[in-house]
Chains A and B, each alone.
Chain A
Amino acid sequence: MNRRGWHCCLLPLAVGFMTQGTHGQDLSISEDEYAAPANPYSPYVDDHFPQNVYFGDTHLHTAWSADAGMGGAKPGPDVAYRAARGEVVQSQTAGPFKLIRPLDFVVVADHAENLGLSDYLERGDPLVRRTEGGERWYQMFKAGDGYDAFIEWIAANGRGEDMIKSPEMVAAVWQKVIDNAEHYYEPGVFTTFIGYEWTSGPDGNNLHRNVIFRDGADRTRQVVPFSALDSDDPEDLWDYLEAYEKDTGGQVLAIPHNGNLSNGMMFMLETFDGDAFDEAYARRRANFEPVVEVTQPKGTGETHPFLSPDDAFADHEIIDTSNLAGSAAKEQEMLRTEYARSALKLGLAEAERLGVNPFKFGMIGATDAHNALPSTREENWFGKAYIVEPSPHRKEGVLIESTVDPKLSIYDIDLGASGLAGVWATENTREAIWDAFARREVFATSGSRLRVRVFGGWDFQPEEVLRPDFADAGYSRGVPMGGDLRPAPEGTDAPTFMVRALRDPDGANLDRIQMIKGWVDDNGDTQEKIWDVACAGREIVDGGCNGDVGNTVNVASASYTNDIGSAVLAGHWTDPEFDPDQRAFYYVRVLEIPTPRWTAYDAKYFQIEMPEGTPMEVIDRAYTSPIWYGPEG
């Protein structure tokens, strides 16, 4: 950590120094280490807090993921890194692709299960041909029967069976994954993380997690990926993460995603083995999984209209007919343990019981793209996989075909052009960005680069939120997103929040900022409520914007204007229903004005009609990580 590091991290050093000093050790501190002017000219020298947002994708797949590569995907990690840092690259089927602006960071998170398989088969690498299954599939590849090999791989993977079983190959591929990330890492400009996806899917239910290391090659070379072929149980994954930290002195975290395709399993209130959570479980889960990916093409998992009937904006890009494999239909009672807002509430109740909150997570978005292209803008959406790249036919495509019932399939038309992670960090490095994930000072967007900042405290004044340096007050007298409210000072009766949001420099204006509260009432039941705290061009009446923001979308020309809404919004809010005995969380949702959905851009570009009932507009948005309150302070 450099000199712009955190108070929290510098403090122990200072304490250490004083302790040693009293024991009379000569530490011979040189003059320039203590004689710095008390008040440097540059006002930012002592800013130990983040002043900038970095946007990135924690979930990008390439042909090295077996489900992509075996299915015919070609672009590998080089294309992914080059696309993410803003270069023009060739998409597999739809011509050249370029991001509007480079991402600040990326995690190429290929599936750990048979990582690199199709690349090894394509090249006929001796490592894979030395295995029985590998040689068989190599011959099928050579004969042009790659699709049959793909089907066999899916079947084996579904059974949890490793047809390759080559520790040598696992190690060799992992070294290359590390080399790739190291090769493209440019601190200060473009951060690449070493990582992969652990793809647990018992009975077709999505329990996937992306594993992201804070460290470079020196530490990560000491391990190999832990895959779902090793175990489907998240607790076994945490054992592996714990062992990595202990053995290497490094740090690592895991990000779950697509609870909406888990058929109730992602946030179920029991362990994989069916036991109730205990304190140790809760502690480990909160520690290793500080952040959840709540929005991506295969559905947005913030909340669901069934769970939040009073939320007028709960219906954003929902995919809710089945589990990931399309093998079992969704039942309404599953939703409660699939969606983030509900899980945050359940976490409060568990904290009440255990003293520790297992679901204490922040929120981000990601692309989960399997074509090496991290695209998230409606007008530049290159799909979730090469079979969903722009074409006159993607409106009829099927991403995942159910073998049980076509109603349970996942159709291309329902996929959303989502999402990104916004990170408040001190600089664009692995350490600074990873640390922001770990302290949950991150937010999700459904694809645009709108930024949002919230502070929770006890004595923020309305005029403070308008000060250019409101972050100064925010950090000194409050906590940012992802934090715990400090204990209430004497004489204060309710928490106050300062929020600000700024639109994407090349995006749509903002409609409103909302505060979303979840809590446990006196009966032990969980509750939720939403207040509008800033509205573009309208008054707030009874906690809600007075009227809609309007709509400038022209579907036929796939266009909109920023004549409505506002580029910047700021809000100050005091919880009017605060009860100091009730455990609670608060997070912020920012809504953009309506804009054309990718389907509208497709219709215009290809001059085609979309199927009846296709949504042609979208309200893109951001969700911050929550700020929590607990009676224990």
Chain B
Amino acid sequence: MADRSIKRLVTEPFVHFLLIGVALFGLYGWLNDVPEDTSVRSLVITESDVAQLASNFRQVWQRPPTREELQRLVDKYVQEEILVREALAMGLDTGDAVIRQRLRQKMEFILDGAVASLVPSDQALREYYRANAERFTTRPKVGFQQVFLGKTVDEATVASTRQALEAGAAPGEVGQATLLAPEMRPSVSTTVDSNFGVGFFDQLVTLPPDIWAGPVQSAFGLHLVKVTGKTTGTVPGFEAIREQVEDAWRRDTAERLSKEQLLAMKSDYDISVPDVDGVSQ
């Protein structure tokens, strides 16, 4: 599988143009005796920069660099710094989709990373848990038996089927052929509706227990239903679902923070955009 978005960039004429431009510029500078730049700018590498280079090296190679290696790293760093500054001075970074994307990724990475490393206090989590109790409520369940009556059914058949069931007929002996489970143990709404179609569960919760009630409408037709068990949703104790609360907290916080960050940054700008309608016409 190929990453087309990046591949597209690599094959994009603009990128080629840019690369050729850079090459030409270098060639031009080399061939022509460029006069000395009189305004000498300072490029200071601090000790902490060198320490950082050494530490990067150590992370990779599991040993400190030798003196020569460190010197080479510093020289390379100086070179890189000069090229980057020159490129920036020439404005090579503007309008480059790859660089923009990379910068955006870096910002997102920093923002996401900040959230991932947050450790919520016990109290913060408990507060969050209380404030969002409905999200942690276990889902209600209904268990039931059902008899399929067909796509449509007349009242007499409903009555006689119900009578037969009340008189003790086995549910498997009456009704129409289907492939739906004759009995479901207490199940959540999504499970029930996956089998019987959307809205079936909501009808069941309103039915009285232990009697053959209905008919109830499913995606396939009508059913007589005997509710055999119901559990309502409860909120488990905090300790029991602490991990789940923290997951949710983290997702929420990440979403909120990244929105807030963007808003905060946005507020530093006086943004003016044209009416898109005018452009798209």
Give a binary string over A108-148; 1 marks a CB under 8 Å from any B CB, 0 the rest.
00000000000000000010011000010000000010110
Contact of B190 with A101 in the complex, beta carbons under 8 Å: yes
Min Cβ gap B111→A in Å is 15
Chain B contact surface mostly: mixed
A135-B60, A146-B6 are known contacts. Are A500 and B179 too (CB-CB below 8 A)?
yes
What residues of B have a CB within 8 angstroms of the CB of A147 in the complex?
3, 6-7, 10
A86 at the interface (CB under 8 A from B): yes
What residues of A have a CB within 8 angstroms of the CB of B1 in the complex?
67-68, 71, 370, 385, 387, 399-400
The 8 Å CB contact of B177, one of A130, A144, A183, A468, is: A468
What residues of B have a CB within 8 angstroms of the CB of A567 in the complex?
151, 220-221
A71-B1, A502-B180 are known contacts. Are A469 and B196 too (CB-CB below 8 A)?
no
B263 at the interface (CB under 8 A from A): no
A431 at the interface (CB under 8 A from B): no
Q: Which of A50-58, A197-205, A315-323, A340-348 contacts B (4 or more CB under 8 A)?
A: A50-58
What residues of B have a CB within 8 angstroms of the CB of A55 in the complex?
194
Residues 233-250 of A contacting B (Cβ, < 8 Å): none
Contact of A505 with B195 in the complex, beta carbons under 8 Å: yes
What residues of B have a CB within 8 angstroms of the CB of A126 in the complex?
59
Contact of B179 with A53 in the complex, beta carbons under 8 Å: yes
Q: Which of A129, A453, A468, A470 has the most CB of B within 10 A?
A: A468
A547 at the interface (CB under 8 A from B): no
Give a binary string over B121-160; 1 marks a CB under 8 Å from any A CB, 0 the rest.
0000000000000000000000001011001000000000
Give a binary string over B170-198; 1 marks a CB under 8 Å from any A CB, 0 the rest.
11111111111111110110110111111
Min Cβ gap A596→B in Å is 20
What residues of B have a CB within 8 angstroms of the CB of A575 in the complex?
none
B256 at the interface (CB under 8 A from A): no
Min Cβ gap A64→B in Å is 14
Residue in chain B with minimal CB distance to A85: B190
* Cα–Cα, bound, A428→B221 (Å): 25
* Cα–Cα, bound, A104→B191 (Å): 8
* Cα–Cα, bound, A480→B98 (Å): 58
A147-B3, A147-B10 are known contacts. Are A130 and B182 too (CB-CB below 8 A)?
no
The 5 closest A-B pairs by CB, nearest first: A469-B172, A505-B219, A505-B197, A72-B3, A147-B6
A–B complex contacts, Cβ < 8 Å, 8 sampled: A86-B190, A104-B191, A189-B190, A469-B170, A500-B179, A505-B198, A506-B219, A568-B179
Binding site for B on A (CB under 8 A): 42-44, 51-53, 55, 67-68, 71-72, 86, 101-102, 104, 126, 129-130, 135, 144, 146-147, 150, 183, 188-189, 370, 385, 387, 397-401, 427-428, 449, 451-453, 465-470, 472, 500-502, 505-506, 567-568, 570
Known: A43-B172, A67-B1, A468-B172. 17 other contacts (CB 8 A): A42-B183, A53-B195, A101-B190, A104-B194, A144-B98, A453-B179, A465-B177, A467-B177, A468-B147, A468-B171, A469-B170, A469-B173, A472-B172, A505-B193, A505-B220, A568-B176, A568-B220
